[in-house]
Amino acid sequence: MFIHSSLPLFGQELIPEQEWDQFMSILRQPLPSTFRITGTRHVATAVRECLQQTFFLELSKALQGAGGQGEELAPPTPLPWYPDQLAWYVPLSKAFIRKSPDVSKFHRFLVDESDQGNISRQEAVSMIPPLVLDVLPHHKVLDMCAAPGSKTAQLIEMIHANDERTPSPLPSGVVVANDADNKRCYMLVHQAKRLKSPCFMVTNHDASVFPVLYHHDEHDVRCPLYYDRVLCDVPCRFVGLLL
């Protein structure tokens, strides 16, 4: 793991000296793996039960004898603040899951279900902003700095939250996902196409001067598009970045 060279100089102004060693020790610990089950899919319950009854049981058994890998081998647990046990915490690094033969079936399952749009691998802290926005199916949502798109996918799922509880074929809401970097916009498309939603569009523009978009209302009158929710997770300066 690489820790940005400016971190000690920057950090010493923020962290008390007596806590510095503990702070640096925690920064050097591998990030755990977290993922979400797509709650708008009718298969969400089946995916969760399959994880709990098959893969998590097998994973726990396999890890009982794998303590020599230098990992904290605790059982997978649901994130307590995420609804319906649809977000999970696995206290193993991505590298361990990817390389260890003991969890190869679990890794293959994650990859396959992610490709199908049934699971999204996403850091826990990244799941919080869409939750607190309380997006509803009729909302017009602007994600101003959207790439790589994990939060965007979560917003799209929230637009489709009532799909299986209403006879209406499509929700009236939309997610406009913008990013200033053209190449990163392709990442947005890749993230979103797994969900197969028509209630989504990608724009490539400087968010600080994002233009007014227009649409036609039910009377075919051209109107400006006003947003019910705006998410702006701006790019950081990478001070203290862990690689």
Extract the annotated binding site.
145-151, 179, 206, 233
- Which residues define the annotated binding site for S-adenosyl-L-methionine? 145-151, 179, 206, 233
Cα 34 vs. chain centroid, distance in angstroms? 9
Name the one residue in this structure whose structure tokens are 């640096």: 24
Interatomic CA distance for residues 82 and 88, integer angstroms: 9
CB atoms within 10 A of CB 114: 15
Interatomic CA distance for residues 196 and 202, integer angstroms: 14
- Of the candidates 124, 131, 149, 121, the residue with the CA atom closest to the CA atom of residue 35: 121
Q: For residue 152, give the amino acid letter.
A: T
Ordered strands of the 200-204 beta sheet: 200-204, 174-179, 140-143, 229-231
List of residues 6+ apart from 184 with CB closer than 8 A: 147, 148
Interatomic CA distance for residues 94 and 86, integer angstroms: 19
Q: Which two tokens stand for residue 18?
A: 């007596």
- DSSP track, 16-46: -GGGHHHHHHHHTSPPPEEEEE-TTSTTHHH
The answer to whether 4 and 240 have CB atoms below 8 angstroms apart is yes
Q: How many CA atoms lie within 13 A of 12 on its CB side?
A: 5
